[in-house]
Amino acid sequence: MKTSNRDGLTESQAKVLKTISGFIAENGYSPTAKEIAEILHITQTSVFEQLSRLEKKRYITRQKGAARTIGILNSQPTEKQVKNESVKLVKVPLLGTIAAGVPIFADENMEGEILVDESNIGKGRFFALRVRGDSMINAGIMNGDLVIIRRQPLAENGDIIAALIDSDATLKRLSLNNGAVLLLPENEKYSPIDVTCRDDFRILGKMVTTVTVM
């Protein structure tokens, strides 16, 4: 029987895998994404991303739609495996306050730059936004998190996007239904924003990952 080649792991993936293995050894069952996030002090969105990568690389198995179903296929990545996966860091501009009348990607709106592992975001042109508020907490995006956005003018139904309404940037889930365009919060305290007929609405890009600020 042929065995699949298993790629090396980034340090982040190795930490998640070690956390899962240790949790199972101690408790006899697998952790939830929320528990992994709490142990590692990262967002649930980041955990889901790392779990997907670990599953793709054949280190774990999961049963979709059910909790505590993570199975370990290879729990002991070697130091060589982790180090042999080249890490390419890319600079992503951190976007600050949006000033009326100033183009969103103008120098006046840049707070600085952050370094991000390219394997976590893929190819493209990116920018980062700092999350303010709790409107996306049910998607694991917390106040103070940095979100990495791939610049693109279009998005698909269900994508989490950065959008510009007038001069204000906002992060919401895009809903396209029977001609209606809504921006949906991930917190029941907030109401959807109807942008169907708004001329001042445009999509800045799609969220690809989050960076938790410690």
Give tens-digit pLDDT for 5-33.
345 678 888 888 888 888 877 777 788 88
How does pLDDT run across 41-85, given as a tens digit for each residue? Answer: 888 888 888 888 888 887 887 766 566 778 777 555 545 444 445
Q: Are residues 75 and 124 in the same domain?
A: no
Q: Are residues 185 and 131 in the same domain?
A: yes
Count of domains for the chain: 2
Other C-beta atoms within 10 Å of 41: how many? 8
Q: Are residues 136 and 205 in the same domain?
A: yes
Reported as type and span, the H/E element at residue 206 is: strand 201-211
Q: Which residues are catalytic?
A: 135, 172
Q: Are residues 149 and 47 in the same domain?
A: no
Q: Across-strand partners of 115?
A: 91
Structural domain boundaries, residue 205:
89-211
pTM for the predicted model, two decimal places: 0.60
- 141 contacts 210 by C-beta, under 8 angstroms: yes
Name the amino acid, one letter, at 91.
Answer: K
